[in-house]
Amino acid sequence: MHTQQLAQINIAKLLAPIDDPLIADFVADLDRINALAEASPGFVWRLKDDHNNATSFNPFNDPLIIVNISVWESMEALKNFAYRSDHVEVFMKRAKWFERMQTEHLALWWIEAGQFPSAEEARDRILYLREHGPSEKAFNFGKTF
């Protein structure tokens, strides 16, 4: 049994409000991609609301910034989902729905197994990474700890 698991937050800034027709294709695919994540080997948990996604969470006080927060058994499991599953097809279309981020939009950190981060804790990790760079507190795929 793993004693530590990998938490991640990734954020994106929508080009229009979540209910705008410009974003409709993205919203229509959320359930499928979230189900794919949950069925992926190594998936542990994801932040979700009553609509089975995290689009209602607003830890950055900006309704155009949406968050994805999840926990995985390992770095390899997260990478396999993100870059070697059908998630890639949505990832490749991101420019249709999201602004290009000029700052860190992903943060990773290790947590005790069975613990799950709040939206505020995850926000703080990405802000820490932006300010201090990769460390044990928050890192990215380019520099892991």
**pTM, 2 dp:** 0.93
Q: Report pLDDT digits (tens) over 55-87.
A: 999 999 999 999 999 999 999 999 999 998 888
What is the chain's percent helix, strand, coil content, to nearest 5? Answer: 35, 20, 40
- pLDDT higher than threshold 90 for residue 91: no
Q: Which of 97, 94, 92, 121 is nearest to 109 (CA)?
A: 121
Phi, psi of 7 (to 5 degrees): -95, 150
Token pair listed for 59: 């830890």
Runs of H (alpha helix) within 2-116: 24-39, 75-84, 87-92
Q: Which of 75, 81, 76, 62 is nearest to 123 (CA)?
A: 62
Q: Would you list the domain boundaries of the chain?
A: 4-132
- CATH architecture, domain 4-132: 2-Layer Sandwich (3.30)
Mean pLDDT of 7-33: 96
Distance separating alpha carbons of residues 70 and 34, to the nearest angstrom: 10
